Copies of this chain bind each other. A is one copy, B any other.
């Protein structure tokens, strides 16, 4: 789950409504990254955004609504996985992006993931964002099939999960210090498994 941070490249609906949304969501990310969920309030977000608090309450209602919209806005960008010319290179680049996002300072992505355990609305938002990101990453597998690196009918989602899960597992759940070798190792492991037929679709009988 990359590209959470405010980016000038984000596609924003024009006009005042779009500008206010951008200011408010930038403020949510900044507050969350710098102060954490426990300090996150609608009033603090409104003050930081320079937007009237009544506007924020009317449009987003509460912290859960703000977080859900941060996740939804993250899907509005034009992020695409890098095209490095090889399956292993593409998966490694994806993992390097995730590692950078998870260890960025302030820790906006890490704080957003943590926040998704606090609010049902944020949890639904993060689920939609993951789905969006994995769907966009399927092009990595399609390219590899076109290059003849993978057989047609490879299960793209299972391959992508295998390649990316270890990084999130170690950093987010196991809370281990970042291991700079992990992005490449996890990519290589997934490619070796793929070459051995692990993601053939349907999976062969055991």
Binding site for B on A (CB under 8 A): 88, 113-114, 117-118, 123, 126-127, 130-131, 134, 158, 161-162, 164-166, 168-170, 172-176, 184-186, 188-190, 192-193, 195-199, 203, 206
Given the contacts A173-B172, A196-B195, A162 and B162 also touching, CB distance less than 8 Å? yes
Subset of 26 A-B contacts with CB under 8 Å: A88-B206, A113-B117, A118-B118, A123-B175, A126-B175, A127-B176, A130-B173, A130-B174, A131-B174, A158-B166, A161-B170, A162-B162, A164-B169, A165-B165, A165-B166, A165-B168, A168-B173, A169-B169, A173-B173, A184-B206, A185-B203, A189-B193, A192-B192, A192-B197, A192-B198, A193-B196
A153: min CB distance to chain B, Å: 15
Choice from B113, B184, B193 contacting A193 with Cβ under 8 Å: B193
A170: min CB distance to chain B, Å: 7
**In the assembly, what is the distance between CA of A126 and CA of B176, in Å?**
11
Given the contacts A166-B165, A196-B192, A175 and B88 also touching, CB distance less than 8 Å? no
Nearest opposing residue in chain B for A130, CB measure: B174
Choice from B127, B134, B196, B199 contacting A175 with Cβ under 8 Å: B127
Asked if B173 and A185 sit within 8 Å, CB to CB, the answer is no
